[in-house]
Amino acid sequence: MVIVEVENGKKKAIIIREAETEDFKLLTKKRFSFVWKSFRASTTIYKLQIVGEDGILGVAGLIDWPAEKRIEIKLLASSKENIGRQKIYDGIAGCLIAFTCRLAASEYGSEACVSLVPKTELIRHYMQKYHMEHGGWQLYLEGSNLIKIFKEYL
């Protein structure tokens, strides 16, 4: 997976792995919109980093619902410097969503589903950019759309 440096279009290889205890000192509300350590008991938290670098650029808190063959993205955040028109890197959220799709597909095969509850102002964005479907109070990816986002970012 790669993210793209907005200024020059240069691609940077990334790695996504489970956050470690010492990472929570860096995952502050000021930089990532949430107090991430408060979600450790209810979610599995993954961090996105550029290969060979220490900084964390994105974070996702996931909940696995085995009975529903679904992984819920409870929280998703890019670092403050990677949000909006002045962001440094593009593709952080997409890579985290695609990573979640890969986890779901490897666990549940063709019946896999990924969902999230978006902020109202992001519903259209998630549907257009990430091919999500509207499912009541949640947006979701399954079937061909899950595969599409997976392939787009991998």
Domains of the chain, residue spans: 2-153
Give per-residue pLDDT as tens, 11-26. 999 999 999 999 999 9
- Tell me the CA end-to-end span of the chain in Å, nearest whole number: 5
Among candidates 79, 100, 116, which has minimal Cα distance to 153?
100
pTM for this prediction: 0.94
The CA distance from 129 to 24, in Å, is 29
| Of residues 33 and 101, more confidently modeled | 101
> What would the CATH number be for the domain defined by 2-153?
3.40.630.30
Residue carrying the six token digits 């999500």: 132
| pLDDT tier at 38, thresholds 50, 70, 90 | confident
Is the dihedral angle over the CA atoms 27, 51, 152, 66 positive or is it negative? Answer: negative
Give per-residue pLDDT as tens, 100-130. 999 999 999 999 999 999 887 889 989 999 9
Residue carrying the six token digits 């992984």: 71
The answer to whether 59 and 48 are in contact (CB under 8 A) is: yes
At residue 142's C-alpha, the angle toward residues 139 and 148, to 5°, is 105
138-142 sheet: strands from edge to edge? 89-90, 2-5, 11-18, 44-50, 58-65, 70-78, 113-116, 138-142, 133-135
Range with the poorest average pLDDT among 24-33, 65-74, 78-87, 116-125: 116-125
